[in-house]
Structure 1
Amino acid sequence: MKANKIVRFSVQGEDCFTEIDQNIEKSQFTKVHFKFYSNKMNTHGYICDIDVLKKYAPTIAGKPILARINQYANNGQGDFAGHEYDEIAVGFFPLKGLELTYEVGNDGTLYACADGYIWNMYYEDVINILRDYGGVKGVSSEVLVIDSDIISEYEEAILQMSFTGVTLLGERNMQGRKIKPAVKGCQGKIVDFSISDMQKEFISEKTKFEKVLYSKIDESSKDGSFLMKNEKEVNMAKDPKDETVASNFDKNAKKVVEKKVGEGENKKTVVKNTEPKADDKKVGEPKTNSIDEKIEDVKNDDVEINGLKEELKAVLDKCEELQGENDRLKAENEDLTEYKNEKEKQDIKKKVDIALNNVAKVLTQKQLDDFRKRSADCSVETVDSFINEIKAFAYDVKDKKGQKQADLMRCSIPVNDDYSQKESDDVWDRISQKFN
């Protein structure tokens, strides 16, 4: 039996990468810019001071980018889920060379930001999902809270923490429930995804056209073209080694032809013997085409270039038309979204007001104001849960005080006893009931 042969390869520093194209290395990753945490209170009641955020934001270095892909979501196109037990690492934040930045939102929220990388060769589905959603997806950080301080019944300040990863979020979790990011505004955005698919298609077609156009123009610089032949004839006349050709050119008449090529005006001198002699054949120069044929060739090239220019103009006009339609649809969508959001806000406010009015006699004004302030973060999906929280809190307060709140839905309706009793058949009884 032959023993297994072990082959060992030594690695000498960074020299092994000297012959590898850096573009090949970069093509294995997609760079994503993450806003991964902020100083704003999250939906779990945790708040992080700016100094604490800046102190512990560097712990994101070397941590994974996580995702759980639901291939049946988004009408079968696929989407991410939420924080799932079987989520996996699809990328990473570099351990060395990580550059942390801080961005301020329109509402003054400070976001900790860093660039992470997704493995293209292993998780192409992740890249496709990001691009399907315009290159942007909501994210939620996984944080290990080491030390904290309770501020109030609903607030807790983080004093010490460590980031353990960042999860890419979809529209719904694996149970089909709508996902709301724990920290509003946190997101991941592909760095090189700055143009629309329509613009990409136009650029691709434009590039193809330019290759054809430039190849036609560059033909004038190739050996054997009309211009090169003319230059050869001039150089032959100036060659001191060929006295026979030089004398023939001196004796014969010369003709100059000027022709504009493209947009620049290049003057080329074509020297032609009006009466070729037998001595000219010694040179071995092949007989050139007539000037008329050469001019006709240039005209044909001009016609083809003009045709390509017309095609480009048509593509540009179509692109402009589609861009205008796209802008109109975007504006219309923004108006509808704004109307929808405003209507939802009104409905949420109405529901919260009714719930607070029902417990106004149980809670203090400060408690009511606190709930009203927190209701600003409610959405259509979370308002019912928030109202249940108000009711539960009011029940606990009432139970501690020993109060019993009237059940307004079970108040009895007053009944007129005069009509509830059956009249007696005896006249004296009726008189007694009336006057006693």
Structure 2
Amino acid sequence: MSDENGNDSDEELVSNFVVVPYLRDESDVEAEGEDEITEQVADTDRQVFDEDLPITHSYLGEMDRVSGRTIIPDNAVVTLPLLPGCPGTWVPGQTFPLMVRDHVRSELLRRAVEGDHTFGCRARGYRFNSSSEEIYGATCEIYEFSDTQDLVSIKAKVRQRFKKLNIKKIDGPVAYAEVQILPEITLRKPLTVFNVPSLNRVRHQVPRKCQIREAYTSPWPVWVHTQYDTDYLRKKVGNELLFLKQGLKKIKHRPPMPTDPTELSFWLGTHLGADERLFLIKENSPIRRSRWMLSLMMQCQQYCCHTCDNLIGYQKDFFAMSVEGAQSTYVNPGGYVHDTITLSTATNLIIISNPSTEYSWFPGYAWEIAVCCHCQKHIGWKFTSKKLVPKTFWGLSRQSLHTRLAWSADSFDDGNIPVM
């Protein structure tokens, strides 16, 4: 798949293809949002897309399996090579595909495979580096690898967060940094210290009443304790962020989101842009991470073109095409990595290419390049299939979008500011 960051420029694409306007008005968006998914599932002549396929990244071709697993203890200080030239912020649990052709990064990845399979990725925004002297990042562990004369490809899992302490040595443009692995601090149940033993025999029958009774013995009311209860946060995420559950997982009756507090906080983080994850990766408490993201994502309503602020899509149209959720990471033939969100509908986009199945991130789907109808900047792709459900969806690059927050004066009065 190509874009302005890959092998083809927008100007070349426009000259090679007929520009076909593909604009939706508000009635089109509402109609599709209500009926499209239901109609597609009811189509018995089509096969339901297997959401396990995207995370295999089969478009990278045959690769060798790298065995072994490296687990670094919390707070341990280790030396890691930092991968240069990789914009974005990765959080533990993400799958990270990469293709490199330059000598420096190719040699770094070869050495990593020969060693403990691990390298570091610095956390940074899509367009600029943080001016802060403190550098954070995440370790990536290679689990599949291929090496040809002019191309090195990997699939890696993001494992643990780290904070850079100092530069150990510099081997050409590659920095070897001394980093400290950040711990995951899991707090106890908020009312544990105020436990009333006499309530234990009825706690499983009336848990809420027991919490209220125990809160009387603490300095704070029960609602304060509830805000930091992992069970409450998990239920609130499920109720308030319903759009994250939309997708094929409902059809296959799979759990829509992780239940472990740490895994849930990172899973929520994969649905944010790199700039928001810069803040997320510094926080050691899963509860504080989840509270901040829940508060932030409840305010995110629209996605707009980063260049001209043209409306592109709505949060309510999130549609998961992968077991990882509605946002995953993919790499194009030019080696450019895209954080890609999948939406059931989008607006104000123009298609500038013919359908192609070559190098498709979603096997069985053909892709077409989509640009903003106002500024003609690359936004993402439209995916279509004649045999699969859903028939169509949109894959939009987070690098090309910014989030419009639905804040108002009333929002601040109601306490809806993103909080920890």
Bucket of the pairwise TM-score, normalised by the shorter protein: under 0.3
TM-score by length of 2: 0.24
Point out the structure with the larger strand share: 2
Point out the structure with the larger helix share: 1
TM-score by length of 1: 0.23
